[in-house]
Structures are given as C-alpha cells and as structure tokens.
Amino acid sequence: MGEHRAVVTGIGAVTPIGIGVEQMWEGVRRGQSAVKPISRFEPVGLRSRIAAQIESFDPLHYIHKKRAHRMDRYSQLAVSAGMLAMRDAALQPSSLEPERVGIFMGSALGGISFAEEQCGNYYSGGYRSVSPTLGFSVFGGAASCNMAMEFGFTGPNETNAMSCASGAVAIGRGMQAIRRGEADVVIAGGAEAPLAPLSFGAFDMLRAMSTRNDTPSSASRPFDRNRDGFVMGEGAAVLVIESESHAKARGARIYGEIAGFGLTNDAFHMSAPLPTGAEAARAIRLALASADMSADDIGYINAHGSSTLLNDVTESQVIRSVFGERPVAVSGTKGLYGHPLGASGAIEAAITLLSLAEGWLPPTTNLTEPDPEAAIDLVAGKPRHVKAEAAVSNSYGFGGVNAVLVIRRA
C-alpha cells in the first residue's frame, strides 16, 4: 500500500501574540513584539529581566475545572491548544475511532517549572505542603497523556524532549504515523511553560539571553547586526493532521500538507551549533527528499532565527549551502513572541502554513540592520505578497538537534 499524504485541517495556538488561530495570525500581521518586563516572578540578580508572556490565558475556557486543577500550566497550555485545534478542524472526538487517533507532542522542559514551585513549598512547609499532583505533572509525557484522557484517544502517544526542536520533531513524527497508516488523525505540536526563577535563571547563567531590559519590545531581533541573545517565551501550538483521504471524505478544509521531515544531530556540543552547519544542512536535504522535492521547489523559509550570535550566522550559512545563490525569502518570527523553547517549532509550522495559504510572508520583526554575515534574502520592514508553493521550517535545539519540516500549500 502506498504512503498516505498528511494534510493539516486544524490549528490551535496559545501564544503571547494571540490565543486561537485567528488571534495568533492577527498578531503576526500586526508585527508588534509581545516581549515585556517579566512579571511572573521577581528577577532579582538576573542579567535578563524580560520575557514574552501570555497575559490573558484562562484554562477554564477550554478545560473542565476539575481536570484543569489536576494539571500544571504546561499541561494546561498543551490541552487548551489541542482543544482549539480540534475546534478549528471541526472535529468531534465522538466522531473518530479512538484507536485511530495519535497524539505527538514535544517540550524542552515539560513540567519542570511546576516542580520548581513545589520544591519551594517543600523547603518552607515540608511534604504536606507539596501538591499531590507533582508526580504525574512534572514528566514531559503529561502533555500527550492529558490530551489522550481529555479526548479519549487511544492511538500512538508520545511526547519527545528534544529541546527547542521538539515541537517540530513531534509534527514530523505525526506526519510519519499518517504516512505509514498507523493513524487516520494525529494531534501534534509543542508546549512550554518555562517562566520560573530557576528555569529562567539557568539560561541567564549561560549568557544566551538578551539584556535589552530597557527596550524589551526590540530585544528579540533575529539576524540583526545588534542582536544580543534570545528572549524566553511560553506557549503552545497544535496541529490536527489527517490522511488526505480521511480529510476529503469528511469535506474538511485543508490548510496545507506536512510533506517532508528531516532529523539529524551535530554530535558536537550541548549548546553551540556545529560551525560548518553540515548536519543542519543535511536535515534540510533529508526533509526535501522525504517530500520528493528539490531546493528549487522552496519559495519561503521560516528560520529558527533565535537571535543568538552564533545560531543566526550558522543558520544563514546552512541556508546558503543548500539553496545556493538563488534568492529564497527568509524570515524569523521569534521577534514577535520570543523563544518558547519546545513550542517554537510548532508555532512556526502553524505560521508557515498560514503564510503559504495567504500568500503573505511575514517580515522579521526588529530587523533594522541585517548582519552582513547573514547574506541571505531576509524579509525585512514589510511583508512580501508571494504565492510560494512550498516552504521549509527550521528548528534547532540544545544537544545539536536539527529538525526540519517541509510544508506544501494546499
């Protein structure tokens, strides 16, 4: 039996620039950064004191009160994004065969922020002060397992922890499950809730985050000559992916297709990219091969563009090595919502799908002076109205993880 095509029929998002697919896309089109001084905790002694926070999220709008209170913020974000994606796809759980629906999620840190909070309770009040939900909230798999229980889906279930590439890895794994016929429908994406003192401070100690505390809205600036590090964010994004035959049989609206996936590892360093970018380039070529496409078929690249000194230059080198001198429009959207670690690849896949569907390629927010070392066709200042047929979305993570999605317009 031939492979099934994996098409996207629903998008759910809980992000600093908007909740729900319409609000998130409005946030992208508005082009205003959501980065502000951090208010989730008091950042005493930290070099970086800014973050992209979700200001108006209420899990009770999406999850029953009793269930929501058993989840930490990480799981609440994941399940809420899943609920929004199912609504957007016009799918009712009761209309699906439970064993034919898979759930694939990704997160860098899982429920570690909740564990951090409970450690404080333990040190101040002993065991009786610790939440009884700690044991089943802290592990990364809480995202996909809580979603399975919420919907009653019993198909393949997995949450990976491949750092900042994990959302893209989850979508790639979901695509593979559809292609192989292991599921008719897959819910796939990423979730992250890292804004807690120790988790945030760990990255601050690495000196990887921006210290542009006086002008937070301009702090996350991918590919800009004056970038000084990434800005941590939070959020979740989930896609409903169906086999094309399943989607067409129910008359579903199709955003686009997850056409290819590539995954490699630098095997070089825990926090720095391989200087040659060879393995990141190979991930793009693997994704193109799995989509049965060539570099010439790609009209847009949504870059990882973390706004760190090393990553942006290396990624530019990778893009040039794969696509050569042919200009391919590139934008990095983390200038809008910072870097929500494991959720970023899923948020960017959603934005890429919408960009292709609308023929509207977003500019790179805060890119005022492109780094001359980048030397790629950066979308800056204003959007481009281009009907690209296919796009690449890059995601890179600590440990040298390189995950690439190829997305085709419907």
Q: Tens digit of pLDDT for each residue in 337-384?
A: 999 999 999 999 999 999 999 999 999 999 999 999 999 999 999 999
Q: Give the count of domains, the chain.
A: 2
Rounded distance between C-alpha atoms, residue 147 and residue 190, angstroms: 12
CA pseudo-torsion sign 311, 313, 318, 322: positive
The model's pTM? 0.98
Query: What is the extent of the structural domain holding 91?
Result: 6-256
Nearest partner of 175 among 244, 108, 223, judged by Cα: 244
Q: Are 94 and 36 found together in one domain? A: yes
- Quote the pLDDT of residue 232: 98
Is the distance from CB of 161 to CB of 107 less than 8 angstroms?
A: yes
Token pair of 103 as six digits: 């759930």
Q: Are 182 and 213 found together in one domain? A: yes
- Quote the pLDDT of residue 356: 98
Bridge-partner residues for 183, per DSSP?
none
Q: Are 252 and 361 found together in one domain? A: no
Q: Is the pLDDT of residue 1 over 80?
A: no
Q: Are 159 and 268 found together in one domain? A: no
> What is the mean predicted confidence (pLDDT) over 237-264?
98
Q: Which CATH number covers residue 287?
A: 3.40.47.10
CA angle 14, 15, 21 (to 5 degrees): 60
Residue 126 counted as domain residue: yes
Phi, psi of 81 (to 5 degrees): -65, -35
Reading phi first (left if > 0) and then psi (alpha if -120 to 50, else beta), residue 401 is in beta
- Strand 329-331 to strand 300-302: parallel, antiparallel, or no bridges (unpaired)? parallel
Residue 393 counted as domain residue: yes
Domain boundary among 256, 278, 309: 256
Q: Are 138 and 163 found together in one domain? A: yes
Q: Are 325 and 209 found together in one domain? A: no
Rounded distance between C-alpha atoms, residue 15 and residue 77, angstroms: 9
Q: Is the pLDDT of residue 210 over 70?
A: yes
Instruction: Based on the residue annotation, tell me whether 246 is a catalytic residue of this protein.
Output: no
Q: Are 276 and 237 found together in one domain? A: no
Instruction: Based on the residue annotation, tell me whether 145 is a catalytic residue of this protein.
Output: no
Query: What percent of the chain lies above the pLDDT cut of 70?
Result: 100
Give the start-end residues of each E strand in 47-200. Answer: 50-52, 101-106, 157-160, 185-192
Residue 1 counted as domain residue: no
Q: Is the pLDDT of residue 83 over 80?
A: yes
> What is the mean predicted confidence (pLDDT) over 161-183?
98
Q: Are 53 and 130 found together in one domain? A: yes
Residue 105 counted as domain residue: yes
Instruction: Based on the residue annotation, tell me whether 119 is a catalytic residue of this protein.
Output: no
> What is the mean predicted confidence (pLDDT) over 208-231?
98
Q: Are 249 and 361 found together in one domain? A: no
Is the distance from CB of 137 to CB of 109 less than 8 angstroms?
A: no
Q: Are 274 and 336 found together in one domain? A: yes
Helix (H, G, I), strand (E, B) or coil at 201: helix
Domain boundary among 239, 256, 273: 256
pLDDT band at 3, cuts 50/70/90?
confident
Residue 191 counted as domain residue: yes
Q: Is the pLDDT of residue 2 over 90?
A: no
> How far, in whole angstroms, is CA 258 from its chain's centroid?
15
pLDDT digits (tens, 9 = 90+) for 91-131: 999 999 999 999 999 999 999 999 999 999 999 999 999 99
Rounded distance between C-alpha atoms, residue 241 and residue 243, angstroms: 7
Domain boundary among 236, 256, 276: 256
Residue length of the chain: 410
> What is the mean predicted confidence (pLDDT) over 289-316?
97
- Quote the pLDDT of residue 265: 98
Q: Which residue in 4, 145, 164, 246 is the catalytic one?
A: 164
Q: Which residue in 4, 145, 246, 304 is the catalytic one?
A: 304
pLDDT digits (tens, 9 = 90+) for 252-278: 999 999 999 999 999 999 999 999 999
Other CB atoms within a 10 A radius of the CB of residue 177 amount to 25
> What is the mean predicted confidence (pLDDT) over 26-36?
98
Q: Are 125 and 251 found together in one domain? A: yes
Q: Are 249 and 279 found together in one domain? A: no
Residue 66 counted as domain residue: yes
